[in-house]
Amino acid sequence: MSKLTGKTAIITGAARGIGAAAARLFAAEGAILMLADVLEEDLQALAEKIGDQAAICPTDVTDEAAVKNLVEQAQAKFGKVDIALLNAGIEGALAHPTEYDTAIFDKVIAVNVRGVFLGLKYVMKAMEASGGSIVVTASTAGIRGVPGMSAYIASKHAAVGLMRSAAMDGAPNNIRVNTVNPSPIDTPMMESLENMHGVSDRNDRPLARATPLGRYGEPEEVARMMLFLASEDSSFCTGGVYMVDGGVSGGRR
């Protein structure tokens, strides 16, 4: 039997990158999906490729009413919510704190922190009766510092903190909460970060060379960790920080 047969899952930030890879993998493992993102056209295209197992609910995760509606739509359509991947996130800008635009800082915190908080708020309520698994996408930035990315670093540290608190709050109801912490992954976000670092040649990837394994991760590699945490394979795992980072958290070459 597939690992997620009979399970229902909400995935935010599902239109591209890690979220889209997780959607495809979870569908292959038998899950029924409610896909959410602000990129409605990409979201619809992904759902059409997956087929009848996927529904969409375009959602701005910073909007409380929208997040509440997302969870309610999933409950109404599926009757329950077993799994949630709180994956939506943005990278912000590359700047020294003295030069960092406050409006961009606020937007990063809104998506990466408020979005996780609102997801936890409404998904945990939906899971109270039967339990479930919540996976928050954090980053290696959630356990260390990187110059010039104060908003992103702060937001991912906060995501880990929210997870740890929610894991304790959810345990009595058998709600498991964990983070997945990727290093640079070959996604549109990484291309944006390369552009911020002045990398115009896609064959010259200094952030990949700085990874001990010498390459970027693939979205599917992160999705496989998410699958482990979403499935019963991780039934005794909660409050954990799971690295998918090519060795970045252990040191550099």
Is residue 160 within 8 A of residue 180, CB to CB? The reply is no
Strand partners, 32: 8
Report how far residue 152's alpha carbon sits from residue 155's, in angstroms, rounded to the nearest whole number: 5
Q: How far apart are CA 118 and CA 174, in angstroms?
A: 19
Q: Which of 100, 152, 216, 242 is catalytic?
A: 152
CA–CA distance, 4 with 15 (Å, rounded to integer): 21
Active site residue 122: no
The Cα diameter of the chain in Å comes to: 54
CB-count burial class (<10 Å; 0-12, 13-18, 19+) for 75:
middle
Active site residues: 152
